[in-house]
Homo-oligomer: A and B are copies of this chain.
């Protein structure tokens, strides 16, 4: 008897618009009979996927959504699980691989996408062009104490910082709390910061501001927040974290070999 391996793709769709998906991601969705994901992400998919079986579970039913993938694969269907941004950055890749232990006949392929750290950075300028940390402020699955510990460590390491899930209805003051912790660990109120709403979707909004201003700003759950490192600057309205090139010698004739 031939052993048939069922293939499941876990696909990062990027921020939303199809032009920001990779061809690899589009190919995986086109090759699938069933596309499973959170309803908001399914709705972002274009007409070209309208002939697929589109399945969802409510938010917080992520395990059930994953199991649905394995069950559909057992029915002989080709299955794609879609995630916004990158499937492997706060996406479903890890849960699929954890649960995959129970489904040895299913082979899981992760297809990366543009995560909000990258797509939001491009809108703001270049805020993570040097070493950076990505921290989610959601404490649904992570104890707040661990989030605090990571914010403190990020501040002490002088990292550029990207904050995912900076707010929700139940967590309206979390961004303010995060900014306070950063300031307690040495980040000054004049630190260059920025945030982007609705990256890669309608009504994209980008704002640059200081940490002191950010601290008293309300952001919504579709926002990604960027905190520069101590060398970051706002240049012509863009948030720029430098790599350290000497740009002073540009307009004279000093050889760059001496400087780098």
Contact = CB atoms under 8 A, between A and B. Distances in A.
A247 to B, nearest CB: 5
Interface stretch (A37-45, A72-80, A120-128): A120-128
A100 interface: yes
18 contacts: A18-B23, A60-B260, A63-B247, A89-B128, A93-B126, A94-B125, A96-B126, A98-B235, A98-B247, A99-B247, A131-B133, A133-B157, A141-B243, A141-B245, A141-B260, A149-B156, A150-B159, A152-B157
A121 to B, nearest CB: 4
Interface in A125-171: 125-136, 140-142, 146-147, 149-150, 152-154, 156-159
A245 B100 contact: no
A245 B63 contact: yes
Chain A interface SS verdict (over half): mixed
A95 interface: yes
Contacts of A158: 146, 149-150
A136 to B, nearest CB: 6
A156 B195 CA distance: 27
Contacts of A132: 89, 133-134
Question: Which 4 A-B pairs rank lowest in CB-CB distance, beginning with the nearest?
Answer: A153-B157, A141-B244, A94-B129, A93-B126
Given A20-B22, A245-B62, A86 B250 contact: no
Interface string A84-116: 001111110111111111100000001111110
Contacts of A113: 114, 118
B157 A150 contact: yes
A61 B135 CA distance: 34
B24 A22 contact: no
A236 interface: yes
B93 A129 contact: yes
Contacts of A63: 245-247, 249-250, 256
A98 B240 contact: yes
A98 B245 CA distance: 10
A95 B154 CA distance: 24
A63 B249 CA distance: 9
